[in-house]
Amino acid sequence: MSGYGGSVGGFEYGGGDSYGGSNGMFGGGDFDGGGGFMADSNENGFGSPSGTTPKKSSIRERQTLMPLTLAQLSKATQDVAGDTWLINDNEIHLVTVVGCILDRREQSTSVSYDVEDGTGKITVKHWFDQDESPEALTRRQECTEGRYIRCVGKINEFGGQKNVIAFHVNLIGSLDELAHHFLECIYVRCKIQQAKKNPGMRQPSFGSPGQVNFANGASNGGQRALQSNAFEEAHEGLTHAQRLVIQAFEQDGGAEAGRQIDSVIAECTAQGLSAQECQAAVSHFAEEGLIYATIDDRHFKYTRG
């Protein structure tokens, strides 16, 4: 691949089998339709057969994080309603891309990165609070031209050009993470293909970062029990500020959009926290996969078991 030559560092990647699929480093040249997703794949989180209308996704499906090359992302299209992105009839919600920063433009409340991964280029826009924590400021300032970053967010389109609205941007830890990103996509694509050849086989299950993978395993009741234990463990060791913030997100009244960050901050500051403590907790939970973005990058929902 061309276009690489910068330094790396600062972010520990916790990859594995918990991400959905794309075709990886080939950028759409060597696999079916160039997308890495099977056009006629089964359901269970991977859309409907080719030629049919994809079914509406569940809340858990909307938590699914798909690793994509920029070539694949460029091929995404919107459904008839214009509210869901698709690749080969598979719904795409949260995406993660890895690439090299070609250009960086910072404004008062946002920073835009032009990113290239060897298969294509795209602009990533990351909004931040003016009262962000010193740690978040440092991480943002480290993301400079020539360095490699991982971005997590949603596909957006403006002026006919696709971009990514990111709620998480960090330097990658090493070039191994770049290779892992592509290899992971290839692995997932092969697993989907294998499930297609064996209809009785469960499709691989993918979830948000930090979420437990329950593929090829227990009944629904067993899954719920395992998930409950996972979330109980995730709550252990939280600071007072983090507990108040996560409790606020848990109390969303079942709203599909979850809660707006500003309302959570207002609620928690009324209980004695600072806005900076609240924002730091929100960033922590987003990175750990305990909350996920919904209708925009200011609304987050608690990841229920």
Amino acid residing at 179: A
HSE at residue 205, side-chain half, CA atoms within 13 A, is 11
CATH topology of domain 220-302: Arc Repressor Mutant, subunit A (1.10.10)
What average pLDDT does the segment 75-89 reach?
82
pLDDT in tens, 264-292: 998 898 888 898 899 888 888 887 777 88
Tell me if 154 sits within 8 A of 127, measured CB to CB.
no
Share of the chain above pLDDT 90, in %: 18
Structure tokens belonging to residue 219 = 């009944």
| CATH level 2 (architecture), domain 24-197 | Beta Barrel (2.40)
pLDDT at 106 over 70: yes
What average pLDDT does the segment 47-52 reach?
37
More confident call, 25 vs 117: 117
Tell me if 176 sits within 8 A of 11, measured CB to CB.
no
Query: For residue 141, which of 10, 278, 13, 284 has the smallest C-alpha distance?
Result: 10
- Which residues of the chain are in CATH 1.10.10.10 domains? 220-302
- Which residues of the chain are in CATH 2.40.50.140 domains? 24-197
pLDDT in tens, 163-202: 999 988 999 988 889 888 887 767 666 665 676 566 655 5
What is the phi/psi pair of residue 158, to 5°? Answer: -145, 125
pTM of the model: 0.51
Q: How large is the angle between the packed helices 134-142 and 275-288, nearest 10 degrees?
A: 50
**Model pLDDT, residue 138:** 92
